[in-house]
Amino acid sequence: MRFKDKIAIVTGAGQGIGEAYAKALAAEGASVAVADLNSEQADRVAKEIEASGGTALAVKVDVADPESARAMAETVKSAWGGIDHLVNNAAIYGGMQIESLLTVDPGYYNRFLAVNMNGALHCTRACYESMAERGGGAIVNQSSTAAWMAGGYYSIAKAALNALTVNLASELGGRNIRVNAIAPGPTDTAATRTVVPEPFIEPLVNSLMIKRLGTPEDHVGALLFLLSDDASWVTGQVLATDGGQIIRH
């Protein structure tokens, strides 16, 4: 119960890896705000957490909108008194358009970056003062191994998120707030199945050191470590949980 009496927000927690994060934090004692643009999915996850004996609250949020991010934070503070942990997981991924940088519609491109890159900043700005008031906290941003690949605007957003992680860690360290990121490799979720065509799966798996797709649960251990006091001197880092897909020297 590493997170007993702690209050956590997980964005994009209505499905996939975000859902696994929210349930794992609740299982270790945290009160968890299940934040998602899809309110039905957020409600489902929150109810499942409560049915398992945890404490959860469903909150609708559009992370691309600073006002919506602030409203999310205020809802959580009103319900539970503050914020200790933030997981910036929300992203446009499942069903995303696969388009060249040279031809993608500018409106779609701007919306994509507003969610996948700027969303983490909006949510951090909405939450950090409450964390500081409670003596500090921890933030984990959801990056991707795509940050180190040629993957179009998805790669651009995740590379920028890595840089955002380092810069926020620098700015917030003095307030006792740590900021790190997790970079998942190919993970078997409904979203991945809409993005990666079936014939590509086997060669993708064969390229990994560990010959299987990841699961949402494969990333949970990294999240819990980075948010916990076990990582009290770890900040500004990007941890790849990817089965050996990316090697960085």
Residue 28 CA to residue 54 CA, distance in Å, equals: 9
**Is 108 known to be catalytic?**
no
Tell which residue, 5, 54, 2, has the closest CA to residue 13. Answer: 54
Helix axes 220-227, 16-27, angle to 10 degrees: 50
Q: Can you read off the two tokens belonging to residue 17? A: 């890896």
Of 21, 93, 153, 154, the catalytic one is 154
Q: Can you read off the two tokens belonging to residue 188? A: 């078997």
Q: Which residues are catalytic?
A: 154
